């Protein structure tokens, strides 16, 4: 748990209550020791947003703010799945085209075969599960390096998308529900309601944990920190919902455009779900253990192969979700869905957010933060009129920067012994 970072005198002794000061000092100490977490991503976001806002005032509009979410959604969702694979120190290069295959299945089921949207969604996610199982089996049971297995997948899935697309034509997705995912917004009141529920839920979890721990005489975070966290979340959600509820339409008489994009609560729900799985269940704990020391995990009785297969299943399923969102946003699926930069943006998002390429370290939240950075770069550079050539180069440089921050912090933490 990241929440307990406080000092303690003796393990069993009733300990001095940590203060706000010691909490902050601890955090600074950890950052200096190389445990920087999501700090680079957050700083990067602030810097990028400031720069783009100054250079292009149109960056800082409600309309563009809403665009950021729909533009970054697919990559972020794929990155969330990739975090699981990266936690084991593996890689999934096929996630991009896996999302393409799943999107193609979705389009075929809903448009060509004419089934309802939920059947299509189920078929797409099931395709993701099958793909992930196959990849995981080849990696864990046959013992082929994940790099090779998923590189082969990258090529093969590209071909499968082409075949499903009848050699290059695209299939449109016209189903109302599917189109709504990335193109419609929640009613403003519903946005406020969901934000309130989220903050209340977070507050309840935090306060209950605090009360439970202090009742048992365990070390807790200072109450001020707990409240600061809750207030921070409330502030961020409040501002975001407020801005998204502003009228974004150029001409209100023609069409009104306001509210939180539907894809935002979808991402938020998956973020909560996977964070819960990673942080609060023994399955999640075992993923970290296998990523940290496979042999130790094996000796502790953890079924390492099963964990390895399962993370590929999660990754490909999340790729399927990303593919559905991409299909929804484009209103169609074409042979390039999930291709070109999607995979590298997704890997970049996870790494920029602070997930280590060396395994054992990372959170699902990293994918969301990193996905935001990638989306801001993509969006801001576009507004400034740079060609996609420049965008690729800049994103590549940012990915390299993030990877070197990862490598440096790792070196630093081996030197100082904290990680």
Partner 1 sequence: MSATPLLELRGIDKSFGPVQVLRDVAFAAHPGEVTALVGDNGAGKSTLVKCISGIYPTDAGEFLFDGRPVTINSPRDAAALGIEVVYQDLALCDNLDIVQNMFLGREKRSGLVLDEPTMEQMAAETLAGLSVRTVKSLRQHVSSLSGGQRQTVAIAKAVLWNSKLVILDEPTAALGVAQTAQVLELVRRLADNGLAVVLISHNMNDVFAVSDRIAALYLGQMVAQVKTTDITHAQVVELITAGRSGALGLATDSGNGGNGHGAEPAGSTSGGVR
Binding site for partner 1 (CB under 8 A): 1, 4-13, 33, 212-213, 216, 218-219, 280-282, 285-286, 288-289, 291-293, 295-297, 299-302, 360-361, 413-414, 416-419
> If you ran DSSP here, which 8-state letter would residue 185 be given?
B
Contact 374, 345 (CB under 8 A): yes
Contact 389, 378 (CB under 8 A): no
CA 363 remoteness from chain centre: 8
Residues near 328 by beta carbon (within 8 Å), at least 6 away in sequence: 173, 178, 179, 180, 181, 182, 183
Least Cα distance to 263 among 25, 62, 66, 60 occurs for: 66
The CB density around residue 17, as the number of other CB atoms within 10 Å, is: 12
Whole-angstrom CA distances from 134 to 83, 99, 160, 250, 286 are 19, 15, 15, 48, 21
The CB density around residue 169, as the number of other CB atoms within 10 Å, is: 8
- Give the residue with the Cβ less far from partner 1, 38 or 120: 38
Least Cα distance to 96 among 153, 136, 170, 149 occurs for: 153
CA 393 remoteness from chain centre: 22
- Give the residue with the Cβ less far from partner 1, 225 or 264: 225
Contact 173, 113 (CB under 8 A): no
Contact 349, 374 (CB under 8 A): yes
**The two three-digit tokens of residue 396, written as one number:** 């590549």
DSSP per residue over 331-386, as a string?
A: TEE-TTTT-TTHHHHHHHHHHHTT--TTSS---HHHHHHHHHHHHHHHHHHHHTT-
Residues near 214 by beta carbon (within 8 Å), at least 6 away in sequence: 220
Least separation, in Å, of the C-beta of 61 and partner 1? 42
Q: What values do phi and psi take at 299, rounded to 5?
A: -70, -25
Tokens 């920190």 found at? 225
The CB density around residue 13, as the number of other CB atoms within 10 Å, is: 9
Give the distance between the most distant pair of CA atoms in the chain.
Answer: 70
Distance CA 259, CA 302 (A): 46
């Amino acid at each position: 748990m990241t929440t307990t970072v406080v000092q303690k005198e003796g393990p069993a002794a009733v300990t001095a209550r940590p203060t706000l000061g010691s909490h902050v000092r601890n955090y600074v100490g950890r950052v200096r020791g190389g445990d920087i977490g999501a700090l680079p991503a957050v700083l990067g976001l602030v810097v990028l947003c400031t720069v783009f806002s100054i250079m292009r005032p149109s960056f800082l509009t409600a309309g563009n703010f809403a665009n950021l979410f729909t533009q970054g959604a697919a990559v972020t969702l794929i990155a969330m799945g990739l975090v699981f694979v990266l936690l084991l120190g593996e890689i999934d290069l096929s996630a991009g085209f896996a999302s393409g295959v799943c999107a193609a299945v979705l389009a075929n089921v809903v448009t060509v075969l004419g089934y309802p949207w939920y059947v299509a969604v189920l078929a797409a996610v099931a395709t993701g599960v099958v793909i992930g199982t196959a990849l995981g089996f080849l990696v864990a049971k046959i013992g082929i390096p994940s790099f090779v297995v998923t590189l082969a997948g990258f090529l093969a899935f590209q071909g499968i998308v082409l075949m499903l697309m009848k050699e290059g034509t695209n299939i449109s997705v016209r189903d109302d529900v599917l189109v709504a995912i990335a193109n419609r917004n929640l009613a403003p009141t519903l946005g406020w309601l969901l934000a309130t529920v989220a903050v209340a839920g977070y507050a309840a979890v935090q306060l209950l944990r605090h009360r439970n721990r202090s009742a048992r005489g365990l070390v807790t975070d200072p109450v001020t920190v707990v409240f600061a966290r809750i207030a921070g979340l409330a502030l961020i959600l409040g501002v975001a919902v407020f801005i998204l509820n502003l009228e974004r339409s150029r001409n209100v008489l023609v069409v009104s455009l306001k509210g939180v994009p539907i894809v935002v609560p979808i991402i938020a729900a998956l973020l909560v779900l996977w964070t819960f799985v990673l942080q609060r269940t023994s399955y999640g704990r075992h993923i970290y253990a296998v990523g940290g020391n496979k042999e130790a995990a094996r000796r502790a009785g953890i079924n390492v192969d099963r964990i390895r297969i399962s993370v590929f299943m999660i990754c490909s399923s999340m790729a399927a979700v990303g593919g559905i969102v991409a299909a929804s946003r484009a209103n169609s699926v074409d042979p390039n869905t999930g291709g070109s930069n999607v995979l590298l943006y997704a890997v970049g998002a996870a790494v920029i957010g602070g997930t280590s390429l060396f395994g054992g370290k990372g959170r699902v939240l990293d994918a969301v933060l990193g996905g935001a950075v990638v989306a801001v770069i993509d969006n801001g550079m576009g507004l400034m009129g740079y060609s996609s050539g420049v965008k690729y180069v800049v994103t590549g440089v940012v990915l390299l920067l993030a990877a070197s921050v990862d490598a440096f912090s790792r070196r630093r933490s081996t030197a100082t012994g904290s990680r």
